[in-house]
Each structure stands twice: as structure tokens, then as C-alpha cells.
């Protein structure tokens, strides 16, 4: 399935990405950010229902000056503390800034979010190709698209959906900016089960892949 997932990502198609049984136990929609359209946003919010975020490579985040949200909020009494994340107690969350592109109106519509996401991807690509940093001139915060900053070392350090999706992007040879959204269950109030996510993938002709498959290839490539 891994080769099919890489091909789907390259083609700008959705894949369904499950992390690990001993982590979040969640399946996310995942798609290369530079291919996102308003219809993709609509499908994620209708059939996924989770938070629509865009994960980016740590080197790009550094070049663009995008911090971790936890660092910004360090002086706030409500900021996360070591061990606060029950499924990943050794690492901090990957949230960075929430942004809207300056050409958006409210920022929340399908069209506005698609524009913001594709423009984030363009900035990531430019930053990794040695281009200048115009991020702060093109985006405003707070906004409606959450940026996730992958950990340095990716899967060698952290094994969240953020790192899995960026590792996939690297393996696929595409710009390492991937938009993801959790699939939630309307009936239980929890995350959609792995079995139900697999069923959705079959009904909709999507590739379903588990984090372990990515991790196995990653270890071979980087080991």
C-alpha cells in the first residue's frame, strides 16, 4: 500500500493515514497542500470533521520564522507542561501559528482556507529552494488554518501525524507541506475507528495506510 499512497500524494489525491494503536489511534485525511481545492476542504469538514491543519517541514518552519505555539504562550498559566499530552508525553504539540492569507475575507470559507493552504505550501517550497522570506507580509494571525511544525529529525524524534505526513512527502519527493484532518465518529463522539476508516477508504477509492508502514520504510532509508 505504501507505493500506492506515495503515488496518490504525488497525484494530489487524498490518502487516509492512521497513526499507531499505541498513540492517538486516529485516521487523518492527508493531501499535498499545494493541491488543495475548496472541494477538498468541503470533504474534510463533512467526512472528517476534525481540525484542518497544514503540516510543514521543520527546516522550512525555521527559515520562515514560525515558532511553536507553546513557546509563544510560555508566560501564560495555561500553556502545556512536560507530560501534558497523554498520547505523547515526551514531546510537545506541533502547533505553530494559526493564519489567514491576506487575500482572504473571513478566512473560514472553503475557498479562503484552500487559498491560505496552497499559499503556505508555496512559501514552504520557496524557503527550501533558497528564496526570500515573505511569509509575514502574505499572512496574518490569528487565522483559520493551523500550521503544524514537524519535529527536527521527523520520525526519529516524534511519531505523530505531523511527522508521518511530512516523512511521506519526503519519500514521495513533493513539497513537504501536507494538509491533514482527523476523521471523527458522529455516533460515539470519539475518533472514527480504524475499521470504519478502512471501510470509508474502500467506498471512496482511497488508499489507507498505517504509520508503521511509513516508519518501516523510513528506518530503511535513514538507517
Measure Cα distances from 125 to 34, 82, 131 in Å: 10, 32, 8
Q: In what order do the strands lie in the sheet with 53-56?
A: 95-101, 139-149, 53-56, 177-182, 27-32, 15-18, 207-210
Q: Which long-range contacts (CB under 8 A, 24 or more apart) does 38-41 make?
A: 38/109, 38/110, 38/111, 38/113, 38/114, 39/110, 40/14, 40/114, 40/179, 41/110, 41/113, 41/114, 41/117
Please classify residue 121 by burial: count the beta carbons closer than 10 Å to its beta carbon, then call 0-12 exposed, 13-18 middle and 19+ buried.
Answer: buried
The cell numbers describing 179, all together, are 494538509
State the catalytic residues. 28, 53, 87, 100, 144, 182
CA–CA separation, 70 and 107 (whole Å): 23
Cell 520562515 appears where?
64
Amino acid at each position: 500500500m505504501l507505493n500506492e499512497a506515495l503515488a496518490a500524494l504525488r497525484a494530489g489525491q487524498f490518502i487516509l493515514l492512521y497513526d499507531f494503536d499505541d498513540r492517538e489511534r486516529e485516521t487523518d485525511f492527508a493531501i499535498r497542500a499545494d493541491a488543495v481545492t475548496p472541494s477538498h476542504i468541503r470533504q474534510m469538514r463533512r467526512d472528517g470533521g476534525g481540525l484542518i491543519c497544514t503540516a510543514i517541514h521543520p527546516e522550512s518552519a525555521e527559515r520562515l520564522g514560525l515558532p511553536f505555539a507553546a513557546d509563544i504562550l510560555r508566560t501564560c498559566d495555561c500553556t502545556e507542561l512536560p507530560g501534558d499530552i497523554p498520547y505523547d508525553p515526551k514531546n510537545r504539540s506541533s502547533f505553530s501559528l494559526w493564519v489567514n492569507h491576506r487575500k482572504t475575507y473571513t478566512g473560514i470559507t472553503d475557498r479562503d482556507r484552500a487559498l491560505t493552504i496552497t499559499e503556505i505550501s508555496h512559501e514552504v517550497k520557496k524557503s527550501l529552494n533558497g528564496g526570500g522570506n515573505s511569509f509575514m507580509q502574505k499572512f496574518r494571525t490569528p487565522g483559520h488554518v493551523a500550521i503544524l511544525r514537524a519535529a527536527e529529525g521527523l520520525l526519529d524524534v516524534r511519531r505523530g501525524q505531523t511527522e508521518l505526513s511530512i516523512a511521506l512527502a519526503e519519500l514521495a519527493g513533493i513539497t513537504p507541506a501536507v494538509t491533514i484532518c482527523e476523521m471523527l465518529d458522529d455516533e460515539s463522539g470519539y475518533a472514527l475507528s480504524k475499521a470504519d476508516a478502512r471501510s470509508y477508504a474502500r467506498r471512496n477509492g482511497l488508499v489507507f495506510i498505517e504509520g508503521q508502514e511509513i516508519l518501516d520504510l523510513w528506518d530503511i532509508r535513514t538507517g
